[in-house]
Structure 1
Amino acid sequence: MGDLLNASSTLMCPHGGMVTVSPANSKVTVGGGPVVLDSDTFTIGGCAFMLGPNPHPCLQVQWMSTVLQSSCDGSKPLSMDSVGMCKAGDGAVQGTVMIQATQAQVSGL
């Protein structure tokens, strides 16, 4: 059981890029910020990954596992235990999201 992510949670790609969450949900909050859902928009900026001599940065996140026993407006919340794949512009998977910090008041299964 992991702490739920909110819009203030710190997420990074494995190459140091910062994940920005654009939450669609504004009704349900945890720890003072909107709860983060698998249907939200996740963009990555500042990824330094290179494929040979060419930049191949992580640009987006696709979530593979979520909180299973809860939902919010038909979407699944994300927690510290969720697994997200960082993807390049061509769809190549380049590693998993690193969840660095989140709120600690609410958790989910």
Structure 2
Amino acid sequence: MPGFLLHLGATVMCSHGGQATPTAPFARVTVSGQPVTTLAAPYVIAGCGMPPPPAGNGPCVTGQWLVGATRVFAGGLPVLLQSSTSICVPTGTPMQVVVTQLRVSGV
């Protein structure tokens, strides 16, 4: 699916409002002056609102992207797109891209 490329400054959140941050953006390729993110690096999540057991199965701690771009690569790895799919651990819910740059898109 086409979408705008994710970069370090993109706002990504877990489904419960926690802020997700990439652990290793790819600094050799930049978009809007910020490094892009690739499929390989997980995201860390802070501030998840999902309660711990027994009230819930949270909070979200990490997030991993499952699908990236099929035609755009950085360092041999697929870059992440606004339309990429992901999963958070341990809740199993997706991360959501709230804000990203609007100049560069990919497939």
TM-score, scaled relative to structure 1? 0.88
Offset, 1:54? 6.0
User: For residue 106 of structure 1, what is the amino acid of its counterpart?
Assistant: V
Sequence identity, in percent?
A: 30
Count residues with an aligned counterpart.
105
Runs of 4+ in 1 over 6 A off after TM superposition: none
Residue in 1 aligned with 2:30? 29
SS in 2 for 1:65: coil
Task: Let me know the Cα RMSD of the aligned residues.
Answer: 1.5
Alignment of 1:1-109 (within 5 A): 1-50=2-51, 51-53=53-55, 56-88=58-90, 92-93=91-92, 95-109=93-107
Q: Structure 1, unaligned stretches of length 5 or more?
A: none
Q: In 1, distance between residues paired with 2:83 and 2:58?
A: 27
Offset, 1:32? 1.4
User: For residue 43 of structure 2, what is the amino acid of its counterpart?
Assistant: F
Q: Structure 2, unaligned stretches of length 5 or more?
A: none
TM-score, scaled relative to structure 2? 0.89
- Structure 1 pair 19–87 and aligned structure 2 pair: CA distance change class (3 A): same
